[in-house]
């Protein structure tokens, strides 16, 4: 079983849990992780059937991490979705409509109980919450020490735009309100010590728009992007690769600080210390992933 906490999450590909053929293709898409969706992409009348199909997909051999987006905690489907995902050995649970730390604590407690009930390894399943699907959720973005299961905070732009009554994008630019929420997610994730994952780009045919939005996310410190089509994965991976000069800087910083007795060194004429080391490792790791060496 995969541990999402330690694996790259550059691309997380959504796939409807009601479509067995598309789930099979998603598993072979080259994404860093696949999200089998039981929520928005599944009609209410098809929830039970989709749940059974996702259970079959989880039972099959897989070479990449799989998350299950369950229905929200206040729906009639939530507990059945969650029980199936834990019993089936999902690597993570994606929680929609997350309103803050209490929601994560409740979900973590439920997973604890289900892991024990199904004799699953304790604490292995991660949580990937969608933390911006309503304006109310933005009022408390403090996820510090929410649960050890928390692996990343995920930005959901389209649902937030709907709640705010605005268009998510216009003329190639994200709505200013959404751009503000996006920055909140980046800061909240850094404060919580987890990764930030950017919202999906809605048009699989517009590679240039996807590249621009992914580049903006990279500048904000996002580690990955949610995807809605396999065609988006290569663009996301290529765009998230740091520029060669940043990779060279990262390697130089790592080498310099490893040999420094007091945790301070000089690289390219500028002082660097332990505060720069995390960024340096990130640049080098992202480059290695792009080159297939990590």
In 26-168, beta strands by DSSP E: 33-37, 66-69, 92-95, 126-129, 152-154
Q: Which two tokens stand for residue 255?
A: 């080498």
Q: How far apart are CA 89 and CA 96, in angstroms?
A: 19
Q: How far apart are CA 36 and CA 68, in angstroms?
A: 5
Per-residue model confidence as pLDDT tens digits over 46-55: 999 999 999 9
Asked whether 203 and 194 are in contact (CB, 8 A), the reply is no
115 in a known ligand binding site: no
pLDDT of residue 252: 92
Asked whether 12 and 33 are in contact (CB, 8 A), the reply is yes
169-170/173-174 β-pairing:
antiparallel
Sequence-ordered alpha helix ranges (H) in 165-273 = 176-192, 207-219, 233-240, 244-258
Domains of the chain: 4-240 (3.20.20.60), 244-290 (no CATH)
69 in a known ligand binding site: yes
User: Among 30-44, 79-93, 176-190, 261-275, which stretch is predicted with the lowest mean pLDDT?
Assistant: 261-275
Average pLDDT over all residues of the chain: 94
Asked whether 33 and 7 are in contact (CB, 8 A), the reply is yes
What number is the average pLDDT over the span 144-164?
A: 97
End-to-end alpha carbon distance in the chain:
18
Per-residue model confidence as pLDDT tens digits over 228-268: 999 999 999 999 998 899 899 989 999 998 877 788 999 99
């Amino acid at each position: 079983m995969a541990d999402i906490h330690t694996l790259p999450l550059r691309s997380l590909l959504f796939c409807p849990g009601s479509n067995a053929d598309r789930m099979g293709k998603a598993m072979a898409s080259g994404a860093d992780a696949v999200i089998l969706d039981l929520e928005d992409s599944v009609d209410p009348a098809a929830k039970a059937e989709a749940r059974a199909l996702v259970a079959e997909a989880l039972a099959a051999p897989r070479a990449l991490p799989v998350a299950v987006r369950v229905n929200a905690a206040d729906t009639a489907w939530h507990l059945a979705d969650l029980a199936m995902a834990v019993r089936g050995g999902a690597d993570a649970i994606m929680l929609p409509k997350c309103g803050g730390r209490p929601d994560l604590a409740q979900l973590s407690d439920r997973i604890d109980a289900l892991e024990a009930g199904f004799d699953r390894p304790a604490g292995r399943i991660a949580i990937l919450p969608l933390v911006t699907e309503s304006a109310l959720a933005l009022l408390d973005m403090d996820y510090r020490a929410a649960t050890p299961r928390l692996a990343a905070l995920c930005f959901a732009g389209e649902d937030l735009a709907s709640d705010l009554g605005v268009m998510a994008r216009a003329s190639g630019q994200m709505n200013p309100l959404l751009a503000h929420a996006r920055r909140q997610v980046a800061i909240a994730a850094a404060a919580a010590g987890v990764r930030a994952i950017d919202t999906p780009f809605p048009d699989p045919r517009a590679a240039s728009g996807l590249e621009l939005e992914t580049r903006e996310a990279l500048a904000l410190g996002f580690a990955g992007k949610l995807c809605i089509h396999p065609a988006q994965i290569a663009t996301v991976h290529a765009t998230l690769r740091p520029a060669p000069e940043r990779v060279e800087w990262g390697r130089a910083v790592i080498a310099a600080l490893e040999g420094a007795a007091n945790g301070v060194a000089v690289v390219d004429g500028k002082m660097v210390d332990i505060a720069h080391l995390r960024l340096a490792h990130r640049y080098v790791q992202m480059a290695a992933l792009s080159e297939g060496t990590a």
